[in-house]
Amino acid sequence: MRVTICAVGRLKSGPERDLSARYIDRFAKFGPSQGLDFNRVIELPESRASNANTRMRDESAAIEAALPGDSLLVVLDERGKAPGSEQFAEMLGNWRDAGRRDLAIAIGGADGHDEALRSKADAVLSFGRMTWPHQVVRILLAEQLYRAATILAGHPYHRS
């Protein structure tokens, strides 16, 4: 199953980009042994509309348009369900075993995701109820993807 990260906003050069790249690289190397193939990060520009609802609508529409056709869609949002790392690994494993070709995981912009995108998503997942900057979410997601692959492999990186 190919895994695509779709993010509103650019990760500029600096420590957040470096750390995110480090975990993406680990996931890209380790994931294929578990049938999880890193595809790419799609970065979308923030909407310049003056109204927050319009910005969310524009950005969510851009996310949908950018995704590989027939992707499973996971939206990251602080109001979503907060699985543990082992549950997240199980979700990925189940989608992979169901023969899904593409999984896309979407990170919103400063205003978050439009309700319409959240309701279309196959899962809305949270990294806790606190709001994190999108740069930090990119790092958390990359690390959790790598961790999930190691959990599926029974590799000792993850200790429960």
Ligand X SMILES: C[S@@+](CC[C@H](N)C(=O)[O-])C[C@H]1O[C@@H](n2cnc3c(N)ncnc32)[C@H](O)[C@@H]1O
Quick one: 34 or 141, whose CB is closer to ligand X? 141
The residue among 137, 116, 138 whose CA lies nearest residue 59 is: 116
Cβ-contact 126, 81 below 8 angstroms: yes
CB of 135 to ligand X, least distance (A): 9
112 labeled part of a ligand binding site: no
- Nearer Cβ to ligand X (34/111): 111
The answer to whether 76 is annotated as binding is yes
Which of 1, 3, 24, 107 touches ligand X by CB under 6 A?
A: 107
Question: Residue 34 or 147: which CB sits closer to ligand X?
Answer: 147
Q: Does 84 help bind ligand X (rule: CB under 6 A)?
A: no
Q: Under the criterion CB under 6 A, does residue 110 sit at the interface with ligand X?
A: yes
CA pair distance 118, 51, nearest whole angstrom: 19
What is the 8-class DSSP label of residue 31? G
Among the listed residues 15, 128, 154, 156, the single contact to ligand X using CB under 6 A: 128
Binding-site size, ligand X (CB under 6 A): 18
Q: Shortest gap between Cβ of 155 and ligand X (angstroms)?
A: 25
Report 6-45 residues binding ligand X (CB under 6 A): none
Please tell me whether 99 is known to bind a ligand.
no
The token pair that represents 29 in the structure block: 């190397």
Q: Give DSSP secondary structure letters for 64-119.
A: HHHSPTT-EEEEEEEEEE---HHHHHHHHHHHHHTT--EEEEEE--TT---HHHHH
Residue 138 interacts with ligand X (CB under 6 A)?
no
CB–CB of 158/85 below 8 Å? yes
Q: Residue 46 is encoded by which pair of tokens?
A: 């923030």
Q: Which residues bind ligand X (CB under 6 A)?
A: 76-78, 107-108, 110-113, 126-128, 130-134, 137
